[in-house]
Amino acid sequence: MIGGVEMAREVAARDYGLKVDSLVPLGLGRVNESFQVRAEGQAYCLQRLNDFFEGCPALGNNWLKAQLALAGRVPFPEILPDLTGQLLCQREGFYRLTRWLPGQTPRAGQPAVAFLAGRALGLCHQALNVPQPLVDLEPLPAQGDFTNQRLPTQADFELILERYRRHPNLIQLLETIRRAGQAARRLPTRPAFQRVFLARDLVIHSDPKRENFIHQAQDQAQALALVDWDTLGYGDPLIDLGELCRSFAVVKPDPGFQLELALAAVAGYRETGLAEAGRIELLLPAVIRALALSLTRRYLIDALAEVYFSWDQARFPSLFAQNQARAQALLDLAEELEAREMEFSHRLVA
pLDDT digits (tens, 9 = 90+) for 290-333: 999 999 999 999 999 876 557 777 888 888 999 999 999 999 99
Q: Does the structure show a pLDDT above 90 at 3?
A: no
Round to whole Å and give the CA distance between 150 and 144: 12
Cα Rg, the chain, nearest whole Å? 20
Q: Does the structure show a pLDDT above 90 at 47?
A: yes
In this prediction, residue 221 carries a pLDDT of: 53
Helices (H), 250-278: 259-272
Contact assessment for residue 99 and residue 49, using Cβ atoms and an 8 Å cutoff:
no
Q: Does the structure show a pLDDT above 80 at 272?
A: yes
In percent, the amount of the chain with pLDDT more than 70 equals 94
Contact assessment for residue 96 and residue 85, using Cβ atoms and an 8 Å cutoff:
no
Q: Does the structure show a pLDDT above 90 at 348?
A: yes
pLDDT-derived band of residue 1, with 50, 70 and 90 as boundaries?
A: very low
> What number is the average pLDDT over the span 108-125?
95
Q: 76-90, 129-143, 254-268 — which is least confidently predicted?
A: 129-143
Contact assessment for residue 149 and residue 235, using Cβ atoms and an 8 Å cutoff:
yes
Q: What is the pTM of this model?
A: 0.93
The H or E element containing residue 235 is: strand 233-235
Q: Does the structure show a pLDDT above 90 at 37?
A: yes
pLDDT-derived band of residue 254, with 50, 70 and 90 as boundaries?
A: confident
> What number is the average pLDDT over the span 72-84?
94
In this prediction, residue 50 carries a pLDDT of: 81
Closest CA to 291 of 262, 321, 253, 260: 262
DSSP 43-77: EEEEEEPPGGGTT-THHHHHHHHHHHHHTTTS---
pLDDT digits (tens, 9 = 90+) for 204-250: 999 999 999 998 765 545 678 999 998 999 999 999 999 999 999 99
Q: 25-29, 127-131, 137-141, 230-234 — which is least confidently predicted?
A: 25-29
Q: Which amino acid is at 69?
A: A
Round to whole Å and give the CA distance between 78 and 98: 5
In this prediction, residue 31 carries a pLDDT of: 67
Contact assessment for residue 124 and residue 205, using Cβ atoms and an 8 Å cutoff:
yes
> What number is the average pLDDT over the span 141-169?
89
Contact assessment for residue 151 and residue 239, using Cβ atoms and an 8 Å cutoff:
no
In this prediction, residue 220 carries a pLDDT of: 44
Judged by DSSP in three states, 94 sits in strand
pLDDT-derived band of residue 56, with 50, 70 and 90 as boundaries?
A: confident
> What number is the average pLDDT over the span 26-36?
78
- For the chain, count helices (H), then strands (E): 11, 10
Q: Nearest 5 degrees, angle CA 178-CA 195-CA 241?
A: 85
Domains of the chain: 4-99 (3.30.200.20), 111-349 (3.90.1200.10)
pLDDT-derived band of residue 148, with 50, 70 and 90 as boundaries?
A: confident
In this prediction, residue 26 carries a pLDDT of: 87
In this prediction, residue 316 carries a pLDDT of: 87
Tell me, what DSSP letter sits at residue 313?
A: T
Contact assessment for residue 211 and residue 31, using Cβ atoms and an 8 Å cutoff:
no
pLDDT digits (tens, 9 = 90+) for 160-215: 999 999 999 999 999 999 999 999 999 999 999 999 999 999 999 999 999 999 98
Q: How many CA atoms lie within 13 A of 281 on its CB side?
A: 8
Mean pLDDT for all residues in the chain: 91
Beta strand 213-215 pairing with 224-226: antiparallel
In this prediction, residue 144 carries a pLDDT of: 62
